[in-house]
Amino acid sequence: MAKKVTPRPWIEERLHELGKSKIGLSRALGINNARVYDLIAGTRRIQLGEVEPLARFLEWPAQTVISRLAGKAVPGGELTPLDVEFDYNPDLRDLPVYGALDMGNGQFAFTEAAVDHIDRSPALRGNKLAYGFYCSQDTMSPAYDRGDTFVVDPTKPLAPGADAVFTNDKGHKRVRRILEITPDGYKVQQFNPPKTQIKSAAEWKTVHKIFGSRRR
């Protein structure tokens, strides 16, 4: 059965209304411009961590975006399923969240113990390795800002385009977007200031995929 495509013209209409561009939206979401076109066309699902930055860029409450994703914003329109995994259960507040300690040179380390616990999405239920941590730097802004909460799933495979937290043998960490994976390491992207780097697998031995994020 072919995948059902649900276009989202309301995104483009809102951009036009605000005088904003698709390029600006791509930067706000931390994705390339082609993926923004797919997002508007409905051929790409909106990820959990993109709901709030999308709402912020469109200058709407997050609930307005959620309602439109659920097909509830068009009078008389057909109600379509919500096309983003956003069904958190507040009774499952067992996902540990760690604080981030500045270690200098753009690196950070986790607190020894969790400083909070949050509810986990259905996709992470039973996953004892998943965890969260607070964003304490601006290096990946505007995709992630200080105070946001990263949600990490170490069991997920890594691939170009994924965001990940890299850890060296000292326990120091950095968040970067993976552009390329090589036998010797990773070519990665930092957003603020924009630059690319090479992360040696010999130095940065632990790399965990970021599953999503929650805005502060």
Among residues 205, 145, 212, 199, which one has the least CA distance to residue 169? Answer: 205
Specify the pLDDT at position 91.
55
Specify the pLDDT at position 6.
77
Specify the pLDDT at position 81.
45
Domain enclosing residue 37, as ranges: 9-69
Indicate whether 195 pLDDT > 60: yes
Asked if the structure places residue 106 within a domain, the reply is: yes
Count of the separate structural domains present in the chain: 2
Residue type, 11: I
Instruction: For 147, list phi and psi in degrees, rounded to 5.
Output: 95, -15
Do 207 and 108 fall into the same domain?
yes
Share of the chain above pLDDT 90, in %: 42
How far apart are alpha carbons 28 and 164 in whole angstroms?
Answer: 18
Asked if the structure places residue 2 within a domain, the reply is: no
Report which of residues 203 and 66 the model is more confident about: 203
How far apart are alpha carbons 37 and 122 in whole angstroms?
Answer: 28
Asked if the structure places residue 177 within a domain, the reply is: yes
Q: Read off the pLDDT band of 78 (50, 70, 90).
A: very low
Do 98 and 19 fall into the same domain?
no
How far apart are alpha carbons 134 and 145 in whole angstroms?
Answer: 10
Estimate to the nearest angstrom the gap between the alpha carbon of 40 and the chain centroid.
Answer: 18
Last residue of a domain, one of 69, 84, 117: 69
If phi > 0 it is left, if psi is from -120 to 50 it is alpha, else beta; for residue 150 that is: beta
Report which of residues 69 and 141 the model is more confident about: 141
For the stretch 126-153, pLDDT in tens is 788 999 999 999 999 888 888 899 999 9
Do 98 and 41 fall into the same domain?
no
Cβ burial of 210 (10 Å; 0-12, 13-18, 19+) is buried
Q: Read off the pLDDT band of 24 (50, 70, 90).
A: confident
Q: Read off the pLDDT band of 71 (50, 70, 90).
A: low
Asked if the structure places residue 19 within a domain, the reply is: yes
Do 97 and 63 fall into the same domain?
no
Do 101 and 34 fall into the same domain?
no
Indicate whether 205 pLDDT > 70: yes
